[in-house]
């Protein structure tokens, strides 16, 4: 797994549970180091040990923590770059949803050796969608649930999300757009603040 992903998990745990709990997780994982380097690549076994330790030490189901991490990645001001990458997908939440098919390629433009599994949006009409999250990254569907929830808030739309389990080689997320402009969304300026 790319170090950027493991580093994002580290940032989430430190910000949410504290650095002392992160040290406990890493001690339990017994990887021989306490921090991940963002630009290194780690073995699937190392990443699996990290995820197993998260559940054990923090005593929460992994899918819940990963969904919270997806929300954190969009809503935390310290990782504004990801929010900006996602907001380039469209002016509305529906446009954003339709842009998700291109997200793995856009991520690779930003970090050339970062490979995210594919995403495929199925539009069923009348505000109902299914997002297929291809396999290849443990917990990908759960993280995307958090991202979708946080982005709906970001746009000010009210959505209903449901993780529908696996179908063939993908996790399926049901997205129902209940109301657009439900609340005031966060401001976004295409050219602002990019450093």
Confidence of residue 182 (pLDDT cuts 50, 70, 90): low
Asked whether the predicted pLDDT for residue 183 surpasses 70, the reply is: no
Cα separation values, 93 from 98, 107, 119, 121, 148, Å: 9, 19, 16, 13, 9
| Beta carbons of 136 and 4 less than 8 angstroms apart | no
Could you give the CA distance from residue 34 to residue 166 in angstroms, rounded to a whole number? Answer: 33
Return the pLDDT at 190: 54
170 and 91 within one domain: yes
134 and 107 within one domain: yes
Its pTM stands at 0.88
| Beta carbons of 9 and 116 less than 8 angstroms apart | no
Domain extent at residue 88: 70-179
| Inside any domain, residue 133 | yes
For the chain, how many structural domains are there in total?
2
Cα separation values, 147 from 135, 154, 176, Å: 17, 10, 15
| Inside any domain, residue 192 | no
Asked whether the predicted pLDDT for residue 186 surpasses 80, the reply is: no
What the block records as the tokens of 24 is 């406990």
Model pLDDT for residues 124-165, shown as the tens digit of each residue? 999 999 999 998 888 899 999 999 999 999 999 999 999 998
Could you give the CA distance from residue 151 to residue 45 in angstroms, rounded to a whole number? Answer: 31
């Amino acid at each position: 797994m790319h170090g950027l992903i493991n580093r994002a998990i580290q940032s989430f745990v430190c910000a949410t549970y504290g650095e002392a709990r992160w040290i406990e997780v890493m001690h339990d994982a017994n990887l021989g180091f306490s921090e991940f380097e963002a630009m290194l690549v780690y073995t699937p076994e190392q990443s699996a040990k990290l995820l197993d330790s998260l559940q054990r030490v923090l005593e929460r189901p992994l899918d819940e923590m990963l969904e919270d991490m997806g929300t954190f990645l969009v809503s935390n001001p310290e990782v504004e770059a990801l929010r900006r990458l996602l907001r380039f997908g469209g002016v509305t939440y529906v446009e954003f949803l339709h842009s998700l098919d291109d997200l793995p390629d856009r991520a690779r433009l930003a970090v050339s050796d970062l490979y995210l599994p594919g995403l495929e949006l199925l539009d069923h009409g009348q505000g109902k969608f299914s997002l297929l999250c291809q396999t290849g990254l443990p917990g990908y569907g759960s993280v995307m649930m958090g991202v979708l929830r946080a982005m709906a808030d970001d746009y000010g739309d009210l959505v209903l999300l449901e993780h529908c389990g696996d179908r063939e080689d993908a996790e399926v997320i049901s997205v129902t757009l209940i109301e657009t402009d439900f609340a005031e969304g966060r401001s976004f300026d295409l050219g602002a603040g990019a450093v």
